[in-house]
Amino acid sequence: MTFNAPALLFVIVGLALIGWLAGRARSALLAARAGVKLHSRPQYHGWYVALWLFAPAALFLALWSSVSPALVTSAVLETPAAQGLPEFGFERGAILSDARSTAAGRQAAVRLPAAAPLVEPYRQAAQRYGAIGIGAMLALALAGGLYGYSRVGPGLRARSRVERIVMAMLLLASLVAILTTFGIVMSLLFESIRFFRLVSPAELLFGTHWNPQSGAPQPGTFGGIPLFWGTVLIGAIIAMIVAIPIGMMTAVYLTQYAAPRVRRWVKPCLEVLAGVPTVVYGYFAALTVAPALREFAAMLGVPNASSESALAAGIVMGVMIIPFISSMADDSINAVPQAMRDGSLALGATPNETIREVLIPAALPGVMGGILLAVSRAIGETMIVVMAAGLSANLTANPFASVTTVTAQIVKLLTGDQEFNSAKTLAAFALGLVLFLVTLLLNIAALRIVKKYREAYE
């Protein structure tokens, strides 16, 4: 028997359904008897039995699916047929996976001759462990179901038990997201540590020359400063110069001046702007904005004007960020109590004076939080910079020149044919880690500011 997790899940769902019906039927029979008052209604007893049947078996199924391939492989390696395998490396892995695929029936015959003797041991081990897994799972399901069924009775608080189990399942669901994040961070961290064995962290963080080559790492070619500078220039400087004033003015107009009818139209339009795929912004930047800017720069007589420029990427990224800033600023301005606005107007201030002198200063902490979140989004943005900013790592303050960013370089390092143990490829993980840490710090700072500010008006 082979271990087929989806099919088995189907089986235990079916068993749970039977358990549900059995539990409900038993308690319904009990309830029908004279003088018996059940604590919970029959369908809770049904759920109680079904969950007892389903949960242990499903947990076992998940566990067994993740450990059984390793068990099968180690069993195969102990057979005499595995003695001839190369000790390490890519070839050994390829032979093993070839044999595994053939044994599982995913391909008709082996592609590597060396894998042929391993197919039969694989098939045997897979069947053995599959049978063990299925047997154990069914036993667990039956045991759980019988236990649940035996407990069905007038005194069973099935309703509150089901409540608790549901809570536990919801907790598990929320853990999935957290554990996934944790796993991603861990993989980033381990690959980065491998990179930092080859290249020192100081070189990545403070070196000024970026030109990674395949093969053994060349000293002095992994300086991240041009990338960091490009990221800051595009995401934190140019994009914010565009987005902050326009976003703020939009928010002020929408909250203070716009008639409700205008607001009803403009706000959804802004939300549409936020929903445009970034790749669309990317080609808008690369095909429309960048050439126009280059001509403009040439007219001004700027040297090194490139068809890929920090300015083009930054401006378009700023446009992308506008809805983000305006909606944060909108919320912050709306959170300023109406009494504050009335107080200023009652002193004879004009609406404009009220906005400048009272509303914006009062909303500023919230707006600052929003800006930090926007910066963190901008520096993690990829498509626009890949398409419009270029890939040459220049350390320049000239916004018309081509620069590159951390995200663009990660794309460059990881696309195409790459061997996964060279410093050049591993550098992508180290860059990803730096980016992750910076955006994490920005987000924490922003959320703290916003939270503190909210408390101030409650």
Residue pair 306/401 in contact by the 8 Å Cβ criterion: yes
Angle at 186 between CA 184 and CA 192, to 5 degrees: 105
In this structure, which amino acid lies at residue 414? L
Q: Which is nearer to another protein, 362 or 408 (CB)?
A: 362
Sequential DSSP letters for 224-241 = -HHHHHHHIIIIIIIHHH
Q: Which is nearer to another protein, 417 or 458 (CB)?
A: 458
CB of 28 to another protein, least distance (A): 56
Phi first, then psi: what are they for 222, rounded to 5°?
Answer: -115, 35
CB of 332 to another protein, least distance (A): 13
Q: Which is nearer to another protein, 295 or 353 (CB)?
A: 353
CB of 253 to another protein, least distance (A): 16
Residue pair 153/28 in contact by the 8 Å Cβ criterion: no
CB of 264 to another protein, least distance (A): 14
Q: Which is nearer to another protein, 220 or 337 (CB)?
A: 337
Q: Which is nearer to another protein, 9 or 345 (CB)?
A: 345
Whole-angstrom distance, CA of residue 273 vs CA of residue 323: 7
CB of 433 to another protein, least distance (A): 40
Angle at 11 between CA 9 and CA 13, to 5 degrees: 70
Residue 52's nearest CA partner among 195, 188, 189, 151 is 151
Residue 138's nearest CA partner among 241, 261, 15 is 15
In this structure, which amino acid lies at residue 101? S
Whole-angstrom distance, CA of residue 261 vs CA of residue 147: 63
In the three-class reduction of DSSP (H, G, I as helix; E, B as strand; rest coil), residue 314 is classed as helix
Q: For residue 347, with 0-12 CB atoms within 10 Å meaning exposed, 13-18 middle and 19 or more buried, which class applies?
A: exposed
Q: Which helix (H) or strand (E) holds 101?
A: helix 89-103
Q: Which is nearer to another protein, 70 or 346 (CB)?
A: 346
Residues that bind another protein (CB under 8 A): 259-260, 337, 339-350, 353, 357-358, 361-362
For residue 387, what are its two tokens? 């398409």
Whole-angstrom distance, CA of residue 266 vs CA of residue 34: 67
In the three-class reduction of DSSP (H, G, I as helix; E, B as strand; rest coil), residue 41 is classed as coil
Residue 333's nearest CA partner among 397, 407, 248, 404 is 248
CB of 438 to another protein, least distance (A): 31
Q: Which is nearer to another protein, 66 or 350 (CB)?
A: 350
CB of 346 to another protein, least distance (A): 4
Q: Which helix (H) or strand (E) holds 369?
A: helix 360-380
CB of 255 to another protein, least distance (A): 13
CB of 356 to another protein, least distance (A): 10
Q: Which is nearer to another protein, 149 or 253 (CB)?
A: 253
For residue 50, what are its two tokens? 């079904």
Q: Which is nearer to another protein, 363 or 378 (CB)?
A: 363
CB of 427 to another protein, least distance (A): 47
Q: How far is CA 410 from the centre of its chain?
A: 16
Residue 111's nearest CA partner among 123, 86, 94 is 94
Q: Which is nearer to another protein, 91 or 353 (CB)?
A: 353
In the three-class reduction of DSSP (H, G, I as helix; E, B as strand; rest coil), residue 36 is classed as coil
Q: Which is nearer to another protein, 260 or 301 (CB)?
A: 260
CB of 367 to another protein, least distance (A): 14
